[in-house]
Structure 1
Amino acid sequence: MNQTTNSKLPKRFLTEKTFQGYFFEDFEINQQLIHGTPRTITSGDISLYIALTGSQHLLNCAETVAQACGFKRLPIDNLLLFHIAFGKTVPDISLNAVANLGYANCRFSSPIFAGDTISVTSKVIGLKENSNGKTGIVYVHSIAKNQHDTTVVEWKRWVMVHKKTPSAPMGIDHIPDLESSVTINQNLIPDDLNFDNFSSDWTACKHRLTHYQVGEIINHRQGMTINDSDHSLATRLYQNNARVHFDQHMMSQSAAGKRLVYGGHIMSLCRAITHSGLANGLWLTAINGGAHLNPSFAGDTVYAASIILDKGHFDNREDIGWLRLKTYGFKNIDEETINELMMEPEQLRISKQCVLELDYTLLMPN
């Protein structure tokens, strides 16, 4: 066998085949982004999501109950759908992010089931340069569709992104108008969903829509400590490859000094915690707005409390109503301090122990 001699080895040279993600300068208003790698969601994803978050929400746990409420099969948890769809956008939008700052106008338009495949596109709707000349904020509108080209979820978000080359601000300041909430109408109800046959025995919770009052505060009490392995595995489940969640060598040189927990994982933990007190909030139909107020890290213990903002009924639907609420996520805090902060809204958002503010709408049996 002939061996290649050193003299015949090819000349070595470096190339840039790898995609480094977009920096702030790479974005343009009305730019359309088609995100790669469509994803078929499986029953294994459902099981792993429950294992990583502790979610107990009924319609996503018991197929017999889902069928009794009108679905043909067990629907995918809408937050799992959101995180997977969100993960599709990360390589283009968030790979060079400092932090994801907030969400608005998230509508879950159609339920999906194991075996469905989703693909995602985004449109740049706003750009704002920061005064430090190192970063800017990118606003996008993302849409996820299934294999039948049906929109299943869409949302708007804004994210702080590094500049490729720090420079003096150029006056880029285009902030989009964002609605304060998702319009509540019957389009928020999945076509097959019906609570006529609902039994409170299924959730072991007697509280239905009539039992909640506007202004009511619920301290959900239970806490979950974030494990390094759990938040890493959850973020991989969503195929979110943002460097701030995985690259400890890079993050050791940052102000935080360690990897950030994906904010969506905090959303899911808080939603799981709210089962105690909101077990009959069976269907997450919209996220009106949300913000990650402070970072979370492995070792933090997460708690949640909610305030009821509004509630109501749908025309010609005696079985189902809606509940709008705002859930706050906290870290490393005692129950009494949570209660005090929930009664003082001006202190709540500036507390270093408050990590999440999430305004959303649930569908609930009347």
Structure 2
Amino acid sequence: MNDKTSRGNFFEDFRLGQTINHATPRTISEGDVALYTALTGSRFPLTSADTFAHSLGFPRAPIDNLLAFNIVFGKTVPDISLNAVANLGYAAGRFGHRVYPGDTLTADSTVIGLKENRDRQTGIVFVRSRGVNQRAQIAVEYVRWVMVRKRDPASPAPETIIPELPEAVATNDLVVPAGIRVDQYDTALAGSRERWEDYAVGERIDHVDGMTIEESEHMMATRLYQNTARVHFNQQAEMAGRFGRRLIYGGHIISLARALSFNGLANAFSVVAINGGRHVAPAFAGDTIYAWTEVIDKLILPGRADIGALRLRTVATKDQPCADFPLRTDDGSYAPSVLLDFDYTVLIPRHL
């Protein structure tokens, strides 16, 4: 039988400097936005209402930047992580041109680092991925690193190259949408009176609410992003795997944590950077997701006295409400209930 199907790339298939153009352009529809809202419960007004978006100078409600991120991520899976053991982390993520229903996203990835693991069964691949719109404008770009299986453990190891990555996206590199204004920002419609000045570096915000994930929901969310990783869908394959059940896509946990953060950060109207992140442990259907956020830094945007930025660290946990919750145990390892440790930057209005 002729085998015309793709089984994905293994570690030895990647080359430093290699650029991969990913398949299947995706035109974003209002239906995608509605389904994303149904699956995450996101309530941020900028992406929920054209009228609110108009008041800030947008032509209409843009799609949630994390929806754009997940769609671009899904494009990369067949080429980058179909044979992955684990998605290890993110860095240097930046959102550029806003995406609106009707825009079409395509994606590419460039290999910027390689390192074979000591067991010679796997290696780590570092890629810089980009999502661009139909006008070739960058909507999102980010670095991630993935542990990928080798096809042949005896194949020679490549030269180890580990890229230098910034701790955070620099303030001057944050993209504030052109023409945005907040002089008509309605805090009653937004759901909170707290602005940039009302947050303090080091404070922790317990987002209180929890969300239990159903099996059908997480698979539907992952299909929305056209993410083809078998670990999220194929129960027969996963019965023989490490966990014996389907894993929830980590990007869905990121989106749920952001949605939960509305309670306490309702005026953080736009995610503009992903500074770093780690999926600490797997999540499964039936887990209840909680989240809390620490304010890492308050950033002054050049030339803007009306809008500031907050660098945030959101931690998502499973089956563990977050009030007075310790992030780490006495030995320095993550607490058993921690799923996600996510470092990102948001825009928020200042008091005028």
Q: TM-score normalised to the size of structure 1?
A: 0.92
Moved more, 288-297 or 189-198: 189-198
State the distance in 1 between where 2:159 and 2:330 align: 31
SS of 2:98 mapped into structure 1: coil
Residues 84-135 of structure 1: CA distance to partner in whole angstroms, max 9, x if unpaired? 0111101100111111111101100110100000111110001111112211
Q: Are the counterparts in 1 of residues 201 and 297 from structure 2 also a CA contact under 8 Å? A: yes
State the distance in 2 between where 1:167 and 1:301 align: 42
Moved more, 130-139 or 224-233: 130-139
Give the superposition deviation at 1:335: 3.8
Gap change, CA 1:345 and 1:72, over 3 Å in 2: farther
State the distance in 2 between where 1:334 and 1:53 align: 18
Give the aligned length: 350
- Other-structure match for 1:75: 62
2:96 to 106, 109, 113: 109
- Other-structure match for 1:4: none
State the distance in 2 between where 1:335 and 1:237 align: 29
- Other-structure match for 2:119: 132
Amino acid at match of 1:332: D
Name the % identity: 48
- Other-structure match for 2:326: 341
State the distance in 2 between where 1:62 and 1:348 align: 43
- Other-structure match for 1:362: 346
Amino acid at match of 2:207: H
Give the superposition deviation at 1:187: 4.6
Q: Tell me, yes or no, if structure 1 residue 282 matches structure 2 residue 269.
A: yes
Q: Are the counterparts in 1 of residues 111 and 127 from structure 2 also a CA contact under 8 Å? A: yes
Gap change, CA 1:275 and 1:310, over 3 Å in 2: same
Structure 2: gaps spanning 5 or more residues: none
State the distance in 1 between where 2:97 and 2:331 align: 37
2:247 to 246, 249, 260: 260
- Other-structure match for 1:123: 110
SS of 2:89 mapped into structure 1: strand
1:353 to 309, 331, 337: 337
Residues 42-85 of structure 1: CA distance to partner in whole angstroms, max 9, x if unpaired? 00000000000010111000110001000011101000000001
State the distance in 2 between where 1:316 and 1:166 align: 54
User: Which structure has the larger Rg?
Assistant: 1
Q: Tell me, yes or no, if structure 1 residue 41 matches structure 2 residue 28.
A: yes
State the distance in 1 between where 2:332 and 2:139 align: 33
- Other-structure match for 1:11: none
Residues 253-304 of structure 1: CA distance to partner in whole angstroms, max 9, x if unpaired? 1121111100000000000000000000001111101110111111111110
Q: Tell me, yes or no, if structure 1 residue 157 matches structure 2 residue 144.
A: yes
State the distance in 1 between where 2:60 and 2:167 align: 33
Q: Are the counterparts in 2 of residues 293 and 349 from structure 1 also a CA contact under 8 Å? A: no
Moved more, 185-194 or 272-281: 185-194
State the distance in 1 between where 2:10 and 2:114 align: 12
State the distance in 2 between where 1:346 and 1:360 align: 26
Q: Tell me, yes or no, if structure 1 residue 141 matches structure 2 residue 125.
A: no
Q: Are the counterparts in 2 of residues 129 and 169 from structure 1 also a CA contact under 8 Å? A: no
Amino acid at match of 1:362: V
Q: CA RMSD in A?
A: 1.6
Q: TM-score normalised to the size of structure 2?
A: 0.96
State the distance in 1 between where 2:87 and 2:330 align: 23
Amino acid at match of 2:241: S
Structure 1: gaps spanning 5 or more residues: 1-13
Q: Are the counterparts in 2 of residues 98 and 162 from structure 1 also a CA contact under 8 Å? A: yes
Q: Tell me, yes or no, if structure 1 residue 221 matches structure 2 residue 208.
A: yes
Gap change, CA 1:328 and 1:163, over 3 Å in 2: same
Q: Are the counterparts in 2 of residues 341 and 348 from structure 1 also a CA contact under 8 Å? A: no
Residues 7-26 of structure 1: CA distance to partner in whole angstroms, max 9, x if unpaired? xxxxxxx1120011100110
Give the superposition deviation at 1:188: 1.8
Give the superposition deviation at 1:185: 2.3
Gap change, CA 1:345 and 1:213, over 3 Å in 2: farther
Moved more, 202-211 or 310-319: 310-319
State the distance in 2 between where 1:263 and 1:300 align: 13
- Other-structure match for 1:298: 285
State the distance in 2 between where 1:175 and 1:296 align: 29
Gap change, CA 1:349 and 1:356, over 3 Å in 2: farther
Q: Are the counterparts in 1 of residues 329 and 335 from structure 2 also a CA contact under 8 Å? A: no
Amino acid at match of 2:188: D
- Other-structure match for 2:77: 90
Q: Are the counterparts in 2 of residues 108 and 152 from structure 1 also a CA contact under 8 Å? A: yes
- Other-structure match for 1:179: 166
Residues 229-249 of structure 1: CA distance to partner in whole angstroms, max 9, x if unpaired? 000000000000011111111
Moved more, 192-201 or 310-319: 310-319
1:52 to 39, 42, 46: 39
- Other-structure match for 1:25: 12
